[in-house]
Amino acid sequence: MAGLSYHEVELLSKFIAFLHKESPPSDSAAPGVPLSIFLHSELSCFEALVCYLRDDLGHSYKEIGRLLHRQSGPIGVTYRNALKKKTGKLDVSSLKQIPLEIFDQEHYTIFECIVIYLKDKARFSFSEIAKYLCRNYRTIWTVYQRAKKKEEVVK
């Protein structure tokens, strides 16, 4: 945690402890992704997800593509790009889980799927989601609004 002040380290420790308390509601007992993997602010949500599925669960690009309803070619490119940015291992200790089944919406980005799930299903506020995903709350609001517009078009 180089470069962080004592106050920032203390705040981050409290936030990580909060992540370990309980899981957001899940519709099923399907496998999930620990919410704490997104605390790597240098990685996008998609990159963090691909790294977790590849490094921690040992899935091939083809299996990851099947799980995320995406093509395997871009999965490999995303993984290699993430390796260039990533420092250390992802934090997989969180008890809060995001079910893999939320990524079956091909017309949404991975980021949009996560934001929609956390807002609509887990009932988190935009500022809470922003903390979990290491993004500005206005970015989260914008992504959510864009996804809702897509939802209207798809219907």
What are the sequence ranges of the domains in the chain? Answer: 32-154
Q: Give Cα 115 distance to the centre of its chain.
A: 8
pLDDT of residue 26: 43
Q: What percent of the chain has pLDDT over 70?
A: 81
Q: Is the pLDDT of residue 114 over 80?
A: yes
pLDDT of residue 29: 45
Q: What is the pTM of this model?
A: 0.78
- Residues 11-28 have a mean pLDDT of 58
Q: Are 40 and 90 in contact (CB under 8 A)?
A: yes
| Mean of all residue pLDDT scores within the chain | 86
Q: 20 or 137, which is more confident? A: 137
Q: How confident is the model at residue 3 (pLDDT cuts 50, 70, 90)?
A: low
Q: Is the pLDDT of residue 69 over 80?
A: yes
Long-range CB contact pairs, 51-60, < 8 A, 24+: 51/79, 51/82, 51/83, 51/86, 51/90, 52/90, 52/92, 54/79, 55/89, 55/90, 56/90, 56/92
Q: Tokens for 146? A: 């864009």
- Residues 107-128 have a mean pLDDT of 94
